[in-house]
Amino acid sequence: MKPSPLDRLLCIFTEVRAGEGATALLMFSNVFLILCAYYFIKPLREGWIAVSDVAGLSKMEVKAYSSFGQSLLFFPVIMLYGRLSDRWRGSALITRSTLFCVAIMLIFWAIQPGLFIENLPYSGIVFYLWVGMFGVFMVAQFWAFAADLHTREGGHRLFPLIAIGATAGAACGSWLTGILVDSGLFGPKWLLMVAIIPLLASIGLSKIVDQRKRQQAVPAEEAPSAQLDDTGRSAISIVFASRFLIATAVITLLLSWVNTNGENLLFRVVQVSLQGDAVQAGISEPESLLLFIRDGTTAFYGDFFFLVNIFAFLLQAFVASRLLKFGGFGLILLTMPVVALISYTAMAFIPILAIIKMMKIAENATDYSLNNTARHVLWLPVSAETKYKGKPTIDSLCVRLGDGIAALTVLIGVQVLALSTQSFFILNVGLVLIWIISALVVIREHQRLVERQG
């Protein structure tokens, strides 16, 4: 079979062989729609939780502690999802879980403040918890599906291309949200309904891809490996039964902990900088000061997120596939902690806003591109059972647990130990060193799985 024009076009980004282009583009579009839907929903949670007061707690504390609560809620959710994956697989599982999320979205749309009910107590906190779980869980489920469809060799070549869809979907969703709200076409109260459209479309794409793969009938010698055969076991027991999965869980938790610490510290330095700017400008009247800080923070993060998304897209489109092809899995997995080590070391020595901003852009762009590719590729040598149970468990539970530990780090570091910003950066350097050691364990165990397969 000769490569089609589409196959040749996609070779700009990675090696695409004859007949692979159509399926790769469908998977690209699928994850694009999922991330686009998520970024329709994500802005709503900030406004909703802002009107969800809890006596005795600041809004920052409510938000931080809600992140920790997400990790606790994941335990029953993961147990339920594990049972569902025992009954269904592939597009059938994705269809049912996505339709369940759509039903929940309809409920939240009906109870959101200002629509039919003025403000249902604690509804913003519940919505915040759900959006956090939805964001990581739906993406993890997609990549479990992708890993199940591809061989190890095919996944190494095509995952970097498919992941461009995730990066582009996040950027497009954010952009479209601003257009829809600012233009007056849709108020924020309609974003949940708008988000349902790409989610339903993603179900259709999953079914098409599943049917194409069944028709192509992958030969047995090329079929994805079943090295970790865990049929009938719970998701938690699968993770704790394997050194490979335990190490994967550890690096996922450390990534989330380190990155969230960095985000908190960046916010802290931005606020200190803006306070200083306000003093220099002679702004002291409370309302003017609040407006100055609010607008300054919005402007800073608007520029920050734009630069992160641009660099992440470039890395994903032109570096990820080539780094994986020529450097291998080990190099692409170690890239993120090495970048983080350099970044936080620089921040610890020079804790000024310009350096912190530059280093966080490098860290986040690497995370959203190269590191995401590595985290998805590492699941290729394991069984379908492990992919559908283990990946959503680790990618959801450990990410939110890391966020929760970061919240506790802020609480203890600020309220108990009174740590300086520089001390927090030094703490992150120590965490990154543990992360690198754990990553080396993952690389070793991954190589053993590949050797058993081959």
Would you tell me how many other CB atoms lie within 10 Å of the CB of residue 298?
10
Contact by Cβ (8 Å): 369, 376: no
What tokens does 194 get? 């708008």
Res 426: pLDDT: 94
Q: 117: how many CB neighbours lie within 10 A of its CB?
A: 11
Could you tell me which residues are beta bridge partners of residue 117? 113
Q: Measured between alpha carbons, how far is 87 from 78 in angstroms, rounded to an integer? A: 15
pLDDT for res 211: 87
- Among residues 312, 70, 48, 44, which one has the least CA distance to residue 170? 312
- Please compute Rg for the chain using Cα positions: 22
* Three-class SS state of 118: coil
Residue 327: CB atoms within 10 Å: 13
In sequence order, what are the beta bridge partners of 113? Answer: 117
pLDDT tens, the chain, 454 aa long: 788 899 888 888 888 888 888 999 999 999 999 999 988 887 676 556 544 555 555 555 565 566 666 667 766 776 776 677 667 767 788 898 899 999 999 998 888 776 666 666 667 778 878 887 788 778 888 988 888 888 888 888 999 999 999 888 888 887 787 777 666 666 667 888 889 999 999 999 999 998 887 776 544 444 444 444 445 567 778 888 889 999 999 999 999 999 988 988 888 888 888 888 888 888 878 777 777 776 677 677 767 877 888 899 899 988 998 999 899 999 999 999 999 999 999 999 998 899 999 999 999 999 989 999 999 899 888 887 788 788 878 887 788 788 888 888 888 887 788 888 889 899 999 999 999 999 999 999 999 988 887 6
Domains of the chain: 20-453 (1.20.1250.20)
Q: What are phi and psi of 34, to 5 degrees?
A: -65, -45
Q: Which residues contact 31 (CB under 8 A, 6 or more apart)?
A: 139, 142, 146, 162, 163, 165, 166, 169
Instruction: Compute how many other C-beta atoms are within 10 angstroms of the C-beta atom of residue 160.
Output: 31
Conformation bin of residue 184: beta by default, left when phi > 0, alpha when psi is -120 to 50: left
- 69-102 in b/e form (b: 16+ CB < 10 A) is bbbeebeebbeebbebbbeebbbebbbebbeebb
* pTM beyond 0.85: no
